[in-house]
Structure 1
């Protein structure tokens, strides 16, 4: 694309499921004569992929915190104070950067993660066009909007409500309209440190306010995965909707059909197994025999449910890899999520599956900390993925042809699970997950694992679905990135 080079700001939210796709979006924008300024708080620098540091069209902008007023210790549970302090510090830093770097001419536009909606006033004040970015998929946003728009909160316990313009397989059930955060009942409120509440269908979806005033919506998906949901959103909102994903690492697109090495594209953190050791363990297992178990870095099951999961993995005959994140089982994200301090408190360390390694021997591999997820999902020995259905994990599994056993925890994860099981038919949902008043039990987990791993039809469908990515980054998504730049340029 010709013309003058355009400066673009990218403002991601803090979790890896937000940072990684935003980083990849910067690279795709560079193909259309754009220089990207990737704005993050300084304490997240170590999470940024190494190739971003050396990209000629991308500048990493680290917003430093004032040493005189360090962030509060979020480990004491005061998340509102930590979040407020973080917003104040980051907002001041962004405004200072804009006044220094763009004193004479503003950037062409800012791509703002919808969960950074609180910062909208900064860019409006500077007359910078805002493009809202969903790092999640189109299904969750469409289903939330459809449920509110149709006022299906009055639906009875038995029938399902079909939504005009959406697939019949995604009809909304009674449980869909009553669902809340699975973890919310444990601590009497949100307590998750996130910037949004789980969707409550009786209200207008929060993203409609978060995207108010935006010039366009970007969604981390593609036509091949979510065409009807993209079309539905386009018909409902009065602005362009672009599918620009899946925003997977460039190394992934070049390694389709073979094992993808995470070390080439993502920063590593503390862990008890190297990527080579994980691959060597997988090499020793028969094809399709391993169930991979991993939840998000921000939220997961409760401590009691982790106990049930440990017992299920001990009693199932399947080989498994289980990734346990720091702070697993706690109702809040890691203490340093907003720049706070980690503590030596035993609760901060999270769940420990005591005695499990001795019980399962070489049948199980328990990874504590960072795991090479793409390497695991793309390995031929991996036959299933027990996942919370965060969107990044969902598209990575689909792109690798790995069936999913869905254990959603909050928000769009429930709709992603439905997309997997009902629409694409590349997985199952853990039995009993709809009953939010009951914790997930060992018997449910074992039943779900056996159902997933032994379902030949689901495995065949997963293999077929990954075929949409055989040509690399989707051409429809590349066209959307180009269309966005052209729209803003006009």
Structure 2
């Protein structure tokens, strides 16, 4: 006999797999409490939802909102040229998609769902949609797919009025450990290339944002953007756990005066059930285009000594500049260290991540991908010492293999917790946003890695010698390696108990709000 659902919860993720995958895992966890959980997505993300997701539980549902992607380019008859679609309003194709998404959500709430959910869990980067749910009297819960550290540091720097800091000054944030003190160099960091864009429409109108929001720190002394994004929320859920960030979870709860629960890390179920064994990404995630199969990657790793391989990957959305990629290639060429280097299409370029656009692209984006950096000839020069993967890489497999001894990473949150869970120390090469704070958490608080820096000890353009020194420091640091292994033991018994309890407390809280 089918069990009856206790009530309904809606979940609204932001675009991009780094936000979608944690939201899907959250849905699974909430469904275990006998809640009907409905994941609301734009239609172009449907291909990213595996059939196993809805098969996981009869309480899990997916609602697709019809959203048209920016039009594909087409040949103009007789001209021999491509017809380039007109620019989207405000110069960003996400604007039109968000408008359509908002209208679809309104329609679903009014006529399509037939239920009034107990609450809606909204990714903070979808905060523009709060008003829609509030107008339908649906309580809003804000969901951070990153850890607690970035929001904590943004808030702490605001309260500590760091805008008047001088070169060389270090300022401790009240309520936080001294190792998380703000340095003057911390204030000058930020994304390379195009400036960050706000999550608020430039014309001052309400409604969906004209662009996507950079996750970097505010201008020194400025109120953190996320405070406005969670305004009106009844609670906060964060993709973290007590073993990693209890202190920072408590800090946010104290400052916001809201219930805050760590409910992660929200990684695939198999991750938590396979401690000590090699993971196979194809069992959990859709395979994408790659020049190596998982079996070929395993064969290469099997040929390398224990803990000798440095794994290098900057994720699918951001990375160093082309000049820095060239320096990295030179450093690897001159090194004796075995390495796996993952290079994404369009590496070295900046702009709206293609994953946000549902696969649609313009001529400019096609050109960017064609002109993205690739280390021509490096594979020949290094021979079997290096493995250069273009496109998709089986990251969980690589991190769980005994031959992998270090991870040169941008320190995106998902990559960070995947490495932590498998005991791999991290060399942080942060590019933008919360990555800088994640790096500080890794190196200064958890002490399971190092931050790569130039010869002056600052953030900025890196040269081959800086990179070589960073890799050598990480791979030879037994203390950091042992600390990383020790911390990973906290995850060997499965999904963190503190997060299981956090989910239970959240469900109890939200149920009480409905009565």
Q: Scaled by the length of structure 1, what TM-score is found?
A: 0.93
Unaligned 5+ segments in structure 2 are 74-83, 200-210
Residues in 1 aligned to 2:12 and 2:194: alpha-carbon distance in whole angstroms: 31
Is 1:478 aligned with 2:500?
A: yes
For 1:111, what is the secondary structure of its paired residue? strand
For 2:357, what is the secondary structure of its paired residue? coil
Deviation at 1:298, TM superposition (A): 1.5
Residue from 89, 98, 102 that aligns with 1:91: 102
For 1:97, what is the secondary structure of its paired residue? helix
For 1:228, what is the secondary structure of its paired residue? helix
For 1:371, what is the secondary structure of its paired residue? coil
Residue from 411, 415, 418 that aligns with 2:440: 418
The residue that corresponds to 1:195 in the other structure is: 213
For 2:312, what is the secondary structure of its paired residue? strand
Listed one character per residue, the Cα deviations across residues 146-170 of structure 1 (whole Å, up to 9, x for unaligned) are 1101112222222322222211211
443-452 or 350-359: which moved more?
350-359
The residue that corresponds to 1:442 in the other structure is: 464
The residue that corresponds to 2:182 in the other structure is: 172
Residues in 2 aligned to 1:371 and 1:189: alpha-carbon distance in whole angstroms: 28
CA contact (8 A) 2:198 2:213 kept: no
CA contact (8 A) 2:198 2:214 kept: no
Alpha carbons of 1:106 and 1:147: their partners in 2 closer, same or farther (altered >3 Å)? Answer: same
Alpha carbons of 1:369 and 1:342: their partners in 2 closer, same or farther (altered >3 Å)? Answer: farther
Map 1:4-15 to 2 at 5 A. Answer: 4-15=5-16
Residue from 350, 361, 371 that aligns with 1:341: 361
Listed one character per residue, the Cα deviations across residues 273-326 of structure 1 (whole Å, up to 9, x for unaligned) are 111211121111111011000012111111111111111111111111111112
Residues in 1 aligned to 2:49 and 2:477: alpha-carbon distance in whole angstroms: 38
Map 1:135-214 to 2 at 5 A. Answer: 135-181=145-191, 183=192, 186-187=193-194, 190=197, 194-196=212-214, 198-200=216-218, 201-214=220-233
Residues in 2 aligned to 1:75 and 1:27: alpha-carbon distance in whole angstroms: 40
Residues in 1 aligned to 2:429 and 2:51: alpha-carbon distance in whole angstroms: 31
Q: Scaled by the length of structure 2, what TM-score is found?
A: 0.89
Map 1:10-89 to 2 at 5 A. Answer: 10-55=11-56, 56-66=58-68, 70=71, 80-89=91-100
Map 1:312-331 to 2 at 5 A. Answer: 312-331=331-350
Alpha carbons of 1:336 and 1:455: their partners in 2 closer, same or farther (altered >3 Å)? Answer: closer
Map 1:146-295 to 2 at 5 A. Answer: 146-181=156-191, 183=192, 186-187=193-194, 190=197, 194-196=212-214, 198-200=216-218, 201-295=220-314
Listed one character per residue, the Cα deviations across residues 196-236 of structure 1 (whole Å, up to 9, x for unaligned) are 35222321111000000001000000011111111111110
Alpha carbons of 1:250 and 1:189: their partners in 2 closer, same or farther (altered >3 Å)? Answer: closer
Residues in 2 aligned to 1:135 and 1:484: alpha-carbon distance in whole angstroms: 16
The residue that corresponds to 2:425 in the other structure is: 403
Map 1:324-403 to 2 at 5 A. Answer: 324-335=343-354, 337-339=356-358, 340-341=360-361, 343=363, 345-349=366-370, 350-403=372-425
Listed one character per residue, the Cα deviations across residues 139-193 of structure 1 (whole Å, up to 9, x for unaligned) are 1111110110111222222232222221121111112233322x1xx34565996
Highest CA radius of gyration, 1 or 2? 2
Residue from 324, 330, 334 that aligns with 1:311: 330
For 1:329, what is the secondary structure of its paired residue? coil
For 2:311, what is the secondary structure of its paired residue? strand
Deviation at 1:36, TM superposition (A): 1.3
Alpha carbons of 1:346 and 1:270: their partners in 2 closer, same or farther (altered >3 Å)? Answer: same
Alpha carbons of 1:20 and 1:335: their partners in 2 closer, same or farther (altered >3 Å)? Answer: closer
Alpha carbons of 1:190 and 1:310: their partners in 2 closer, same or farther (altered >3 Å)? Answer: farther
Alpha carbons of 1:189 and 1:133: their partners in 2 closer, same or farther (altered >3 Å)? Answer: closer
Residues in 2 aligned to 1:296 and 1:76: alpha-carbon distance in whole angstroms: 27
CA RMSD of aligned residues (A): 2.3
For 1:146, what is the secondary structure of its paired residue? helix
CA contact (8 A) 1:308 1:440 kept: yes
Alpha carbons of 1:256 and 1:424: their partners in 2 closer, same or farther (altered >3 Å)? Answer: same
